[in-house]
């Protein structure tokens, strides 16, 4: 405690602590996007003299961040060339007839792929395949989508390339003087973690995953049968004018729930069955996707902004579902504020938000991460959306790009990228950059697609967060906090101390960015290593795995949030299925760390 008290007497340490507390509050509440919180923290630390500009911005030029930039392009080339099409075919094959077999496929096949390809595009690519499979087998999507997310989390720690957080930990290790992590530095622990986690997913009781067949038929229907909220208007020429809702063809022909009737400035709420409809009335409906598309063809009503819904004769219109992923810059604003139609050349037909009913007008509803939008747009516009980091297209589009024949080249270049740093003195960052250039020269990726593939929000977040580690170290706060923890844990056995630190990291990551957890906890944990008789690398890996195994909340990891809406999960579904995995990892990872590094 004396070291911590001494550190807190220093003005720079107090400033760092204040910035740290502010950042944690912003990360937990989501008042600012995570990358903006990181940039604000750097600006405060540099402007108040805690760090020099060079120290604050060093993370943006680190080898780990440049490696990640290249990795985005490599994964884009793999998807664009169809390198993972065989995986899609395997998942959609007739041989997999039960949800248990599908979970086995996800754990044992998709998991290892996530050790090489970042898990977010893997989940985005497989979501529509799994939803279609669920519809064909009449199995609830909730039975397989959460295992998809968890499988990619378990596989993401097989190699250094599996997650951006792995690369951030490597960069922090280099900054602290412990050296960067190698491609397979985490595999010795990651492999048994993946095997144990896969075994849990295969053996876990079926009751842990929800299957709501009895509650609502829509849960086992196609993606098109999910409940959406949308608006329609009653034109003056409509045969509905003068009729009550109870006796109208709107209720007889379509399976819709009328949530609200808007007449001028007046808002009328249910019961509405005996209300007579008037020209110009706007109805807020809850409707399935299939009925919504039928409504679009019905001339007795008009969907909002109906002028855009006809075929324009230039390639036609397509209707697709898109998801707002974690970190989307569209979250927090309404469609009207975003000028969505003009910005993306796409019209929003309807909105779905998990199990919630959206009771706002479509243009005024504030978008949230995890929302699913039903869009209508030309095919070219939809392909443009596929390159966006703010939206994930969930529907499968025919891939007519001319690079599918280059699939073997893309796979070969990627394998060489993995082998070269392992067999030669060439660093990983150089191998990744060589791979990016080779993929472009070979025609697997266009130069413009290299730029579009980069997730700027991830780059800004990781580049800015590394400054925290430097600040904690240079101000003595890391030493002080480590001394306080040492005093608390001094009578504990090493295994108990490691399990406590691992669980604390996991719980913090459940409510805060895992990248932030790594940046804040690694400097403290590595200072604690000598008192536990372990090298600093042991504590670094302990924190890394604790931050990567996020099985308790939807917001704990982006892939959890990506499957939350399409799987129609409730919040408590995640910890019900993930608590056992969290306990297993809390017992297993500290034992693996001690087994590898020993304790004096």
- The residues, any chain, with a CB within 8 Å of residue 21's CB and separated by 6 or more, are none
Residues 462, 463, 466: CA angle, nearest 5 degrees? 80
pLDDT of residue 228: 74
- The residues, any chain, with a CB within 8 Å of residue 300's CB and separated by 6 or more, are 234, 238, 239, 240, 249, 250
Omega before 147 cis (within 30°)?
A: no
128 near 475, Cβ under 8 Å?
A: no
Sequence-ordered alpha helix ranges (H) in 53-186: 53-57, 63-80, 85-91, 99-105, 111-113, 119-137, 145-155, 164-175
Tokens 């939807």 correspond to 554
pLDDT of residue 118: 79
Question: CB-hemisphere CA count at 13 Å for 210?
Answer: 20
Q: What's the chain's Rg over C-alpha atoms?
A: 26
Q: Which helix (H) or strand (E) holds 40?
A: helix 34-47
pLDDT of residue 217: 38
What are the tokens at 127? Answer: 């979501």
Q: With H, G, I as helix, E, B as strand and everything else as coil, classify residue 168.
A: helix
pLDDT in tens, the chain (600 residues): 566 677 677 888 889 889 988 988 888 777 787 888 889 999 999 999 989 999 888 888 888 889 888 888 888 888 777 777 777 777 777 778 888 999 999 999 999 998 888 787 788 778 877 877 887 788 888 999 999 999 999 999 999 988 888 988 998 998 888 888 888 899 999 999 999 999 999 999 989 998 854 343 333 334 444 567 788 888 887 777 888 877 776 666 666 777 788 887 777 777 777 788 888 888 887 777 666 766 666 666 777 654 434 444 344 677 788 888 766 778 888 888 888 888 888 888 788 876 665 666 777 788 887 788 888 888 778 877 776 777 877 765 544 343 456 788 888 999 999 899 888 889 889 999 999 999 999 888 888 778 878 878 778 888 888 888 888 888 888 778 878 887 888 778 889 999 999 999 998 888 777 888 888 889 889 988 888 889 999 999 999 999 988 898 887 787 887 788 778 888 889 999 999 999 999 999 999 999 998 754
Burial environment of residue 100 by CB neighbours within 10 A (0 to 12, 13 to 18, 19 or more): middle
Dist. CA 264–CA 267, nearest whole Å: 8
């Amino acid at each position: 405690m004396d070291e911590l008290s001494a550190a807190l007497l220093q003005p720079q340490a107090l400033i760092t602590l204040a910035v740290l507390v502010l950042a944690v509050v912003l990360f937990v509440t989501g008042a600012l996007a995570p990358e903006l919180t990181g940039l604000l923290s750097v600006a405060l630390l540099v402007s108040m003299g805690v760090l020099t500009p060079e120290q604050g911005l060093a993370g943006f030029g680190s080898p780990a961040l440049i490696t990640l930039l290249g990795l985005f392009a490599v994964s884009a080339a793999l998807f664009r060339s169809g390198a993972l099409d065989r995986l899609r075919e395997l998942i959609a094959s007739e041989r997999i007839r039960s949800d248990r077999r599908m979970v086995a496929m996800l754990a044992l096949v998709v998991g290892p792929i996530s050790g090489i390809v970042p898990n977010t595009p893997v989940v985005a690519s497989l979501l529509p395949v799994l939803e279609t499979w669920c519809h064909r087998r009449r199995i609830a999507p909730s039975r397989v989508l959460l295992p998809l997310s968890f499988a990619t989390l378990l596989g993401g720690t097989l190699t250094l390339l599996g997650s951006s957080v792995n690369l951030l930990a490597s960069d922090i290790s280099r900054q602290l003087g412990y050296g960067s992590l190698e491609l397979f530095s985490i595999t010795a622990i990651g492999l048994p973690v993946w095997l144990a986690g896969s075994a849990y997913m295969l053996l876990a009781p079926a009751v842990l995953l929800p299957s709501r067949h009895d509650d609502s038929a829509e849960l086992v229907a196609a993606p098109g049968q999910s409940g959406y909220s949308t608006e329609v208007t009653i034109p003056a020429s409509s045969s509905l004018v003068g009729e009550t809702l109870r006796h109208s063809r709107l209720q007889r022909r379509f399976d819709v729930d009328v949530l609200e009737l808007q007449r001028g400035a007046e808002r009328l709420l249910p019961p509405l069955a005996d209300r007579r409809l008037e020209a110009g009335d706007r109805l807020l409906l809850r409707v399935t996707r299939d009925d919504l598309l039928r409504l679009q063809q019905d001339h007795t009503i008009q969907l909002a902004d109906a002028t855009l819904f006809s075929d324009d004769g230039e390639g036609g219109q397509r209707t697709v579902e898109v998801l707002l992923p974690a970190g989307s810059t569209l979250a927090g604003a309404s469609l009207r504020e975003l000028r969505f139609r003009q910005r993306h050349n796409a019209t929003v037909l309807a909105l779905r938000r998990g199990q919630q009913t959206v009771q706002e007008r479509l243009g005024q509803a504030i978008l949230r991460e995890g929302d699913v939008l039903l869009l209508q747009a030309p095919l070219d516009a939809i392909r443009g959306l596929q390159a966006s980091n703010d939206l994930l297209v969930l529907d499968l589009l025919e891939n007519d790009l001319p690079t599918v024949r280059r699939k073997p080249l893309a796979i070969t270049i990627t394998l060489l990228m993995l082998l070269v740093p392992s067999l030669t003195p060439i660093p990983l960052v150089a191998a990744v950059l060589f791979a990016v250039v080779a993929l472009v020269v070979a025609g697997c990726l266009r130069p413009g697609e290299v730029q579009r593939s980069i997730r700027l929000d991830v780059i800004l977040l990781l580049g800015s967060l590394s400054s925290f580690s430097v600040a904690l170290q240079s101000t003595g706060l890391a030493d002080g906090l480590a001394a306080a923890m040492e005093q608390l844990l001094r009578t504990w056995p090493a295994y108990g101390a490691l399990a406590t630190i691992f669980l604390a990291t996991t719980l913090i990551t459940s409510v805060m960015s895992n990248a932030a957890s790594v940046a804040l906890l690694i400097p403290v944990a590595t200072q604690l290593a000598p008192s536990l008789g372990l090298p600093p690398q042991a504590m670094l890996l302990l924190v890394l795995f604790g931050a990567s195994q996020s099985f308790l909340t939807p917001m704990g990891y982006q892939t959890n949030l990506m499957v939350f809406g399409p799987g129609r999960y409730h919040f408590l579904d995640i910890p019900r299925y993930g608590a056992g995995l969290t306990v297993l990892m809390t017992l297993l990872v500290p034992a693996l760390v001690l087994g590898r590094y020993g304790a004096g």
